């Protein structure tokens, strides 16, 4: 159990939605308690991923469903907490991570009938590098629901501390261990 008062934490894109959709009462209580102490901190990259997601769904949706998607998008943007920008120091750290780990550690995702392209997988991997870099620069633990990607980044940083002076380690917290 992670003390909600011990934040603030940076929330990865997958963590934010996982927490909001959790049916487990203890997870909801954790988020409610966290929100009494801190804002939800996210990287600007999370906003990019999220808004692109709403926009793609809206474009693919029939007319009668578009209203729900737009209402969800507005609800998300209305409650947006602290957004960390992609500034010079984040760019420098992210560049180091991308050079260390040029390829995604896992293959593209697929479901029963849908597939993620290699290009999309690479984009998502680069976005994860930017989010990890933001957590390092902000010196905040990163809450995530994506252990394959972020554990790879954490290990790589630990193996090359000379490339990340005065930064790190990347502190990771899995969603499932919060409450």
Partner 1 sequence: MKRRVRHSITPAKRRTTLTLPADSLVQAERIARARKVNLSTVIAEALSEGLRLHAVAERSDQVLKGYQKAFAGFSEEEMMILDGIVVEPAAGR
**Contacts with partner 1, residue ranges (CB under 8 A):** 13-14, 16-17, 19-21, 28, 31-32, 35-36, 40, 49-50, 52-54, 56-57, 68, 71-73, 75-76, 78-79, 81, 109-111, 113-117, 120, 124, 127
Cross-strand partners of 143: 11, 173
- In angstroms, give the least distance from the CB of 104 to partner 1: 12
Q: Which is nearer to partner 1, 48 or 100 (CB)?
A: 48
CA distances from 10 to 31, 45, 103, 112, 134 (A): 13, 12, 24, 32, 8
CA distances from 6 to 19, 30, 37 (A): 17, 12, 9
- In angstroms, give the least distance from the CB of 133 to partner 1: 16
CA distances from 4 to 7, 38, 113, 143, 171 (A): 6, 8, 39, 12, 15
Q: Which is nearer to partner 1, 48 or 168 (CB)?
A: 48
Q: Which is nearer to partner 1, 36 or 63 (CB)?
A: 36
- In angstroms, give the least distance from the CB of 93 to partner 1: 20
Cα dihedral value 145, 147, 153, 155, nearest 10: 140
Q: Which is nearer to partner 1, 142 or 167 (CB)?
A: 142
- In angstroms, give the least distance from the CB of 102 to partner 1: 19
């Amino acid at each position: 159990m992670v003390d909600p008062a011990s934040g603030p934490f940076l929330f990865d894109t997958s963590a934010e939605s996982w927490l909001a959709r959790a049916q487990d009462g203890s997870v909801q209580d954790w988020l409610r308690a966290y929100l009494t102490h801190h804002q939800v901190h996210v990287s600007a990259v999370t906003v990019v991923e999220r808004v692109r997601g709403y926009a793609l769904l809206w474009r693919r949706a029939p007319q009668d469903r578009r209203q729900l998607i737009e209402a969800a998008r507005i609800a998300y943007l209305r409650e947006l907490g602290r957004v960390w920008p992609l500034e010079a120091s984040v760019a420098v750290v992210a560049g180091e991570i991308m050079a260390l780990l040029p390829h995604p550690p896992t293959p593209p995702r697929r479901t029963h009938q849908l597939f993620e392209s290699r290009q999309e997988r690479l984009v998502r991997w680069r976005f994860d590098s930017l989010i990890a870099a933001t957590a390092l620069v902000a010196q905040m633990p990163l809450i995530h629901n994506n252990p394959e990607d972020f554990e790879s980044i954490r290990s790589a940083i630990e193996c090359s501390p000379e490339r990340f002076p005065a930064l790190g380690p990347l502190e990771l917290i899995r969603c499932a261990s919060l409450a």
